[in-house]
Amino acid sequence: MIEPIARRNRFRWTILALISLSHIVGATAQYGINTLAPFYRDELGLSRAQVGLFFSAFYLAMTGASFGAGWLADRLGVRQTTLKGHLFLGGCTVAAALAPSFAWAFISFFLAGLGYSFLNPASTKGVMQWFYRDERATAMGIKQTGVPGGGVVTAMLAPQLVWLLDWRGALAALGAINFLFGFFFVALWRDPVNDSSNANFHGSAIAETSGPLKLWSVFPISCGTAIYLVGQMALITYVPLYFRDTMGFTPYWASQALALIQGGAMVGRIGWGVLSDRFFGGRRKIVLILIGALSAVIILSLSFMTSVSSYYLLLPILFFSGVCLVGYQGVSYALIGELAGKDRTGAALGMMITVNAACATLGTPTFGYLVDRTESYTIAWQLLAGMLTLGVLGMIVLVKEPRRAA
């Protein structure tokens, strides 16, 4: 039977706040790459495709390291894995701020991605340990709001730091914050005293998975969300340049457009989790299909926007693109954890991130290459919408939810 809500350990919400803060801090370094792009692109003499390759470097590192980082989280625990992630991410971000060339920055962002790869498996394992199944998607969604929350903080803070410190000082500050936060996290983290809180409960329970991780059980959802991530990375990487080059915005206001997208993502990551837990009775697949379908429509709409388009039409499109295309991950992380079981959550999420990052590594610069070749964002946005549609179809056919307990 499910533990009554009143009897559950209330400290789980403190833990969730700490995990979410970890994501906010980590994401400031990640999103510093694209938020500061309008400032460093000209100084370093970069093309749009090269700017996209910085994100690819970040995700290429995640491709190679995420499965190992998840394995490490299952063995070392949340505290030590998160500490190592923040220290490495912070140090390498500071190194990127010193870059005299494309190659230096590429290598630095690659190494920063290695550090970032530790954070998601560790935090997801933490939620699986502390939260019951009837609230996991909501908790995962709240946890994942830290990522767009970090994007909002970066979009608002980094341009201000540029005026004070130039772009190098702004990027170095984001790295230093990450480095110091690792020690703050270690001081506050606590493991649950009794893991029996995750026992099966009556009604909408899902049977736990035990034994070795079955890779093929989590591979379809990994591939489906990989397509969603390509869309997400293209959106957050190129929207500032799209606004500057096509819509006629200044670099400052082009960067601020990300704040609207990330604000929508924060709403989506909580909202979709609540919808999955409460309205759909713990079902995840139907929610992910709905998100993908709406994302395809929104990206297609974005392709028709021009410099004379009404702000009253453009701003809602940006907001809802964040709600859907950047807001889906709480539900997908809950599903991967339930497919694998809490003892294998780190390794399963590591595999998902590996597949996701591999696709994002190729997809993000490909989007930029299409824009460079065609001198227009229209075709690139429309092809992205088509790819998202294929991802939805694959999700319908291939993804299987875990067996629900009687």
The whole-number pLDDT of residue 184 equals 92
String of DSSP letters for 82-144: HHHHHHHHHHHHHHHHT-SSHHHHHHHHHHHHHHHTTHHHHHHHHHHHHS-GGGHHHHHHHHH
Per-residue b/e over 316-337, b at no fewer than 16 CB within 10 Å?
Answer: ebbbbbbbbbbbbbbbbbbbbb
**CATH level 3 topology of 10-190+211-398:** Growth Hormone; Chain: A; (1.20.1250)
Rounded distance between C-alpha atoms, residue 331 and residue 344, angstroms:
18
Q: What is the pTM of this model?
A: 0.69
Domain residue ranges in the chain: 10-190+211-398
| Residue 128, token pair as written in the block | 């699986």
Tell whether the model's pLDDT for residue 187 goes beyond 70.
Answer: yes
Q: pLDDT (tens digit, 9 = 90+) per residue, 84-139?
A: 999 999 999 998 888 888 888 888 889 998 899 888 888 888 888 888 777 888 88
CA atoms within 13 A on the CB side of 102: 13
Start-to-end Cα distance in the chain: 11
The whole-number pLDDT of residue 181 equals 92
Q: What is the separation of C-alpha 21 from the centre of its chain, rounded to a whole number of angstroms?
A: 14
Beta bridge partners of 206: 404
Q: How far, CA to CA in Å, does 339 sit from each of 29, 279, 357, 398, 404?
A: 31, 21, 20, 14, 11
Q: pLDDT (tens digit, 9 = 90+) per residue, 139-183?
A: 888 888 887 778 778 878 888 888 888 888 888 889 999 999 989
Q: Is 212 exposed, middle or buried (0-12, 13-18, 19+ CB in 10 A)?
A: exposed
